[in-house]
Amino acid sequence: MQFSPALLALIEALRCLPGVGPKSAQRMSLHLLERDRAGAGELARRLQEAIERIDHCSRCRNLTELEVCEICADPRRDAATVCVVETPADVLAVESSGSYRGQYFVLMGHLSPIDGIGPEELGLDHFQKRVLEEGVTEVILATNPTVEGEATAWYLADALRSRGIKVSRIAHGVPLGGELEYVDGSTLAHAFSGRRPLE
């Protein structure tokens, strides 16, 4: 059976979502058109509205409808401490912990020369200027524990230390409640290298 061009285009468009392959995109498309046309219309309206209204914060690059996001504008946050993360989802994860009350900078990715992503694409010039102009005393690097995330963290740490800024890295290791026999070697290596004395 041959699908119509419009349906094929919808299936292909849905494949831009993470984790959605051809079969999943086809299933979603058919569901929306067969069983939930009202939901499809609402989804289209909400997506268009989000595209028109949401942009990047001028200070931290997080997603917001404002010029400066609510976190950056909050005077109760510690402006001398900035946590660097890769994505807006990482900001949500850190915020949900309730343990951090500083500011953020969102890279919107990580260094990846193969993909053409260098310091300019991550806004690192803007970030370093902000650190120097706003009196930031500590930068916490919370990039992902991947090869690219580690490379990004090392690049930033090198650039910031040369300017006298305290740089720290979030700990990576054994999850709370985890059992050592099920933890991979790389995670254990991080846990051992990041160990600290009990007080």
At residue 1, the pLDDT reads 67
Indicate whether 2 pLDDT > 90: no
Do 83 and 166 reside in the same domain of the chain?
Answer: yes
Alpha carbon distance 103, 127 (integer Å): 12
At residue 34, the pLDDT reads 94
Do 98 and 145 reside in the same domain of the chain?
Answer: yes
Contact yes or no for 105/165 (Cβ under 8 A): no
At residue 190, the pLDDT reads 74
The residue range of the domain holding 18 is 5-53
Dump pLDDT digits (tens) for 9-42: 999 999 999 999 999 999 999 999 999 999 999 9
Q: Which stretch of DSSP H or E encloses residue 139?
A: strand 138-141
Alpha carbon distance 141, 125 (integer Å): 16
Do 135 and 40 reside in the same domain of the chain?
Answer: no
> Left if phi > 0, otherwise alpha if psi is -120 to 50, otherwise beta: which for 96?
alpha
Residue 64 lies in a domain: no
Mean pLDDT, the chain, rounded, equals 91
CATH at 164: 3.40.1360.10
Alpha carbon distance 85, 62 (integer Å): 10
Residue 154 lies in a domain: yes
Residue 19 Cα distances to 22, 23, 53, angstroms: 10, 11, 26
What is the domain count for the chain? 2
Cα distance from N-terminal residue to C-terminal residue, the chain: 69
Residue 148 lies in a domain: yes
Indicate whether 187 pLDDT > 80: no
Residue 31 lies in a domain: yes
Do 78 and 163 reside in the same domain of the chain?
Answer: yes
Higher pLDDT, 133 or 173: 133
Quick one: tokens of 138? 């500590």
Do 43 and 115 reside in the same domain of the chain?
Answer: no
Do 85 and 130 reside in the same domain of the chain?
Answer: yes
Do 16 and 96 reside in the same domain of the chain?
Answer: no
Residue 104 lies in a domain: yes
Alpha carbon distance 73, 71 (integer Å): 5
Dump pLDDT digits (tens) for 75-115: 999 999 999 999 999 999 999 989 899 999 999 999 998 89
Mean pLDDT, range 33-59, rounded to an integer: 96
At residue 197, the pLDDT reads 67
Residue 199 lies in a domain: no
CATH at 45: 1.10.8.420
Do 114 and 157 reside in the same domain of the chain?
Answer: yes
Alpha carbon distance 110, 148 (integer Å): 6
Residue 118 lies in a domain: yes
